[in-house]
Chain A
Amino acid sequence: MVGVLQYAKQRVDALRGNYETQRIHEDDLGTHFQLLLLVVAVVFPIAVALAVSTKQSGVVTSVVDLLPGGYAVENYREVLVDYQFGRFMWNSLAMSVVIVVGKLIISVFAAMAIVYYRVPYKDLVFLFILFTLLLPVPVRFIPLFQLMNDLGWSNTILAITVPYLASATTVFILRQHFLSIPTSIVETAKLDGVGPLKFMLFVLLPMSKGVLVGVSIIMFVYAWNQYLWPLIIIDSEANQVAQVGLQLLQGDVQGGQLSWSLVMAGSTLTLLPPLLLMIVFRKPLLETFSIQQK
């Protein structure tokens, strides 16, 4: 099990390009050319969205129309205020932060109990939690909808956060990481008579910073991008999230009441939070992925 950490580190080093490689070939221009083409293909749709979001109308008839226009401030203001994206984004943010923080706290608790307590049946409990990987939202949303109605939670932030709090993935990743912390450190803590709370706050959490950040990014992206469940359970615009806000824009633009430049401004806004987080925290994110795969 100690091997996990070394293994993960190797991978991350490789990802960072820290490899001491002795390449016997030079960079091939053809390879760069193909890469550039593919990168352009992957980035193109979003580049178009970004360009169009700054124009007066969404009509693009030539390449020149893809140059940035002068209506950026006006368009984004209109989407944020008149089309309530300020509100939707705020609701999405609240939903995502509650899910991330809640998941982290209760998953750290659960993983700590599973790794550091000598109690019977804990492997069974871990399996019980892991088994929920079989129960993603698409399998449950019909009965969950009925349950929310019974609880009176429909159309509230409780409905779009609480069902997401338990996380087999997070508990699994944290457990793997805890198992990679050397036993000598754990035993020293025990000899020093450190209690569970102190152990968690002063030993476990400081040694898990990277993983906690990585898991947070994975969970934020997951929560922010939820579409199906809020679509079903939230029915007032005041409580709606950005993803479903996009659906409202889509309805208007198909009906001809809205310019595409505003739809692209709304899309760009909705993309920004997860994209920025991913770019800023890509190192811990990639490290955490390598634990997950293991």
Chain B
Amino acid sequence: MSTREIFDSRIESGLLLLPTLLVTVVFLYYPTALAFRTSFFDSSFGRAEVFVGLENYVELLTSSGYHQSIIISVVFAAVVVVGVVVVSLYLTFLIHEVDTGQGLYLISVIWPYALPPAVGALVFLFITHPTLGVLTGPIESLGVEVDWFNNGSQAFVVVALAAIWKQIGYNVIFMIAAMNNVPDTLTETAELDGVGGLRRLVSVYIPIMTPTIFFLVIINTIYAFFGTFAFVDLLTSGGPSNATNILIFNLYQEGFSFFNFGIASAKSVVLFVIVGVLMFVQFQITDKYSYYGG
């Protein structure tokens, strides 16, 4: 029987695994355990920790500010995920449809994968700035007064747009691979049957691409919850009036504006549970997906 397992020294394999395991235990597992532990303490800078049992969690359960942050995060994630997936799907479809210039179109829309969120945030701050933004004039000529430094819903829209923009590249990378994988015979049959344009996207491509789209929905959700910190920090600092205070920013404030490490740790545990649930769902999907490719 053929095999790849050509070596069998336990010491060698142990040495090879050691660096990764060491970093994993010290900087990933241990801090996580520490977060669980600290979440049961009243803990802050320069004062003795006091065991408080579930008090921190009770506080989260009863804090309206935290509830608001959860709701904002969920709505934000929904807007970002739907926005990213719809725009990316349509872009991918258009690129898939053309023969000339495909490579050039592709690189012109996948480059935001490399975009640092902090750069994206500052550029958006500049182009939508209420007094000197390039886009402010044109938007105001449509009858909307641009005032997102004070208007919560507008601030929410600006942060969401910036976040969507940055994530398009990553999505198109995966979608174009999946769409190119749709058998040509299917495309041809659809065209002969007179199923053209958008209807072909909706009724032929999207159903076949479902596994990829699910995968991206989960990745985008994790991104919306955790990867958008720089956008919030640089564009709105969670404001105005907490309108953009998503969980990750709320946690950052708890830790490094208020220095309540006990409550911040409890909030970290909540985030851990959220990541866990999302990853579990993704795992279930990926499991099916690996059979799908055939």
Contacts and interface: CB of A to CB of B under 8 A. Distances in A.
A58 B132 CA distance: 9
Contacts of A21: 99, 184
A31 B97 contact: yes
B195 interface: no
Interface in B81-136: 87, 90-91, 94-95, 97-103, 105-109, 111-120, 122-127, 132, 134
Given A117-B12, A117-B13, A119-B13, A139 B35 contact: yes
Contacts of B134: 48, 60, 66
A34 B91 CA distance: 9
B212 interface: yes
A143 B5 contact: no
Interface residues of A, number: 116
Contacts of B176: 15
Given A142-B261, A267-B122, A186 B4 contact: yes
Given A227-B230, A249-B122, A128 B24 contact: yes
Interface string A145-161: 11100000000000000
A278 B111 contact: yes
B50 interface: no
Contact of A290 (B24, B95, B177): B177
B108 A227 contact: no
A138 B5 CA distance: 37
Interface stretch (A67-75, A78-86, A106-114): A106-114
Given A58-B126, A140-B28, A196 B117 contact: no
B2 A183 contact: yes
Contacts of B165: 42, 45
Nearest to A65: B134
Contacts of B17: 109-110, 113-114, 125
A135 B29 CA distance: 8
Interface stretch (B57-65, B140-148, B268-276): B268-276
B32 interface: yes
Contacts of B108: 39, 42-43
Nearest to B266: A142
B34 to A, nearest CB: 4
A17 B103 contact: yes
Contacts of B97: 27-28, 31
Interface residues of B, number: 102
Interface in B1-52: 2-10, 12-14, 16-17, 19-21, 23-24, 27-32, 34-35, 38
A35 B94 contact: yes
Contact of B32 (A140, A260, A264, A279): A140
In this complex, which of A58, A132, A143, A266 has the most chain B Cβ atoms within 10 angstroms of its Cβ?
A143
A15 B177 contact: yes
A244 to B, nearest CB: 8
A294 B20 contact: no
Ranked 7 nearest A-B pairs via Cβ: A14-B180, A118-B5, A166-B23, A143-B34, A113-B16, A143-B31, A106-B19
Interface of B: 2-10, 12-14, 16-17, 19-21, 23-24, 27-32, 34-35, 38, 87, 90-91, 94-95, 97-103, 105-109, 111-120, 122-127, 132, 134, 137, 165, 168, 173-174, 176-177, 180-181, 184, 188, 191-192, 212, 215, 222, 225-226, 229-230, 233-234, 248, 251-252, 255-256, 261, 264-265, 268, 271-272, 275-276, 279, 290, 293-294
Given A27-B99, A35-B105, A227-B116, 10 more contacts: A3-B293, A11-B181, A25-B191, A28-B97, A34-B94, A45-B123, A45-B165, A132-B24, A166-B24, A275-B115
